[in-house]
């Protein structure tokens, strides 16, 4: 790591300090001594960091504030945390979110909903959008609950939905970039009936859309 005070007409002073030895006290001391310096990190090895991994994804979800009443207020601390990360991390969060929604897109979960349960033999109306929002509700309740529902579909909340989770990556992007449009499109679809293995015998979504 190189610590480079701003160049002056006389000289530039270079301090070499191992990054792992820096703590907040050391950083503050450097700031006090060199208030106008430029901080730069150099490494001989490529970074092994990934844009977003499972632990980081769920740590952001865990920031949802359930002491609030409105969905936007519940999401606010998580959106703020996501907005502080790189663009690639926001995209990575979006992709992981869609993958989890896709994993829950199956008949075995939809059959255990309440008023919106998938029960064609009973003539029950099934809203594909409400099922999507129900899947959002599962993820919003955190990693442990998500994994419990995956293992036991009957645990899916009967009437709870959380649509706003869908827009969290875009809102984090807006906080980070203000007037720059969000144009990332995840590879994985969250739309109901996209997971063909979860809906055996169901005609593919795109095929149904094309034949309308």
pLDDT by residue (tens digit) across 100-117? 999 999 999 999 999 999
Average pLDDT over residues 131-154: 98
- Give the separation between CA 45 and CA 201, rounded to whole angstroms: 50
Please state the pTM of the whole predicted model. 0.73
DSSP 187: S
Contact 61, 78 (CB under 8 A): yes
| pLDDT at 135 exceeding the cut of 70 | yes
- Those residues with Cβ within 8 angstroms of residue 157's Cβ, 6 or more apart along the chain or in another chain: 134, 137, 138, 141
Average pLDDT over residues 164-193: 94
DSSP 35: T
Average pLDDT over residues 21-45: 65
**Could you tell me the CA-to-CA distances from 58 to 140, 143, 152, 178 in Å, in that order?**
9, 6, 20, 25
Phi, psi of 151 (to 5 degrees): -80, -30
Model confidence at 18, in pLDDT bands (50, 70, 90)? Answer: low
Model confidence at 5, in pLDDT bands (50, 70, 90)? Answer: very low
Average pLDDT over residues 1-25: 54
Q: Which of 25-34, 81-90, 105-114 has the lowest mean pLDDT?
A: 25-34
Average pLDDT over residues 158-171: 96
Chain mean position to CA 178: 19
Helix runs in the chain, H state only: 24-33, 54-61, 71-83, 87-103, 107-110, 128-140, 143-151, 168-177, 205-210
| pLDDT at 8 exceeding the cut of 50 | no
């Amino acid at each position: 790591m190189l610590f480079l005070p701003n160049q002056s007409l006389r000289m530039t002073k270079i301090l070499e300090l191992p990054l792992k030895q820096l703590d907040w006290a050391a950083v503050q001391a450097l700031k006090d001594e060199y208030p106008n310096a430029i901080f730069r990190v150099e490494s001989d090895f490529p970074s092994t960091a990934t844009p977003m991994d499972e632990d980081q994804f769920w740590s952001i979800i865990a920031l949802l504030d359930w002491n609030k009443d409105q969905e936007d207020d519940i999401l606010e601390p998580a959106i703020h945390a996501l907005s502080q990360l790189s663009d690639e991390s926001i995209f990575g969060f979006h992709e992981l979110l869609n993958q989890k929604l896709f994993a829950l897109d199956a008949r075995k979960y939809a059959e255990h909903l309440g008023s919106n349960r998938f029960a064609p033999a009973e003539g029950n109306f099934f809203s594909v959008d409400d099922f999507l929002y129900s899947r959002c509700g599962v993820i919003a309740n955190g990693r442990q609950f998500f994994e419990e529902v995956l293992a036991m579909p009957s645990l899916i909340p009967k009437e709870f939905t959380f649509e706003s989770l869908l827009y969290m990556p875009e809102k984090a992007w807006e906080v980070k970039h203000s007037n720059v449009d969000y144009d990332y499109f995840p590879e994985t679809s969250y739309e109901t009936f996209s997971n063909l293995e979860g809906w055996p015998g169901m005609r593919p979504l795109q095929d149904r859309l094309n034949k309308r």
